[in-house]
Amino acid sequence: MAGYVKTGIDGLDAMLNGGIPEGNQVIVEGGPGSGKTLISFEFLYRNALNGATGIFFSFDEEPDRVIRNAKAAFYELDRIDEMIESGKMLVYPDPYYTTSGTQYELGKLLSAIESKIEESNAKCVVIDSLAMLALMAPEPAHFRKAIVEIITSLRKRGVISFFTEEMKSPERDRLEFSPEHFVFDGIITMYQTGEDFKRMPAIEIIKMRGTSHSMITTPYEITPSGFKITAAENIANYD
């Protein structure tokens, strides 16, 4: 479908009515263990297989740990090393920090991110996570201004980005939105539904500008071959 990029994730493209519009910037949010980092990694992997360079900027964990965790979870995806070695998937730590290694400047960090994207001609980007970026800002207003600037830059480049974010609660009825949510083109939310003794992971597309997406909260599972999102309605197959 022209103008759309498939995620390649089983069931997600159907929910998205074919894929994510080019240039959309998306929040992927969930509670601990929901798989938001893994689904973002799989998005890069699937697009790398199709020739699109992707960058994973990891602020929460060292790159080696991100890769190791993904390979442990998706041990049937046997081309992860190949995609990394070929340069189609790039996993970076913080691309900028001061000489002390502890004091961060958000503006310089985002400029460094833009430079890495331009150098590699990346079309798919993951920034893990929004919370870590917020910690680098001296005040909330500065953070929101910086997020608007990086989103605008990524849109102009036609890049699709996933920004991960930790939810305050994994429950759907406790969903909260912060001001920056309204700036992004899409919000994909990963819940833990049900009772404590029997909880089921489920995914919902809260919004996605530029496409008519599913409005149904849909169960998913993380398998060795990737995410499997169970269709909750009769949506056409876009393979």
**Dihedral angle of Cα 33, 215, 226, 123, to the nearest 10 degrees:** -100
Q: Which CATH number fits domain 4-229: 3.40.50.1980, 3.40.50.300, 3.40.50.12500, 3.40.50.970?
A: 3.40.50.300
Q: Which of 46-50, 95-99, 157-161 shows the lowest per-residue confidence on average (mean pLDDT)?
A: 95-99
pLDDT band at 239 (very low <50, low <70, confident <90, very high): very low
**0.85 cut: is pTM over it?**
yes
Q: Give residue 238's pLDDT.
A: 43
Query: What is the residue-averaged pLDDT of the chain?
Result: 87
For the chain, give every domain's residue range: 4-229
pLDDT tens per residue across span 47-80: 999 999 999 999 888 899 999 999 999 999 999 9
Q: Give residue 94's pLDDT.
A: 62
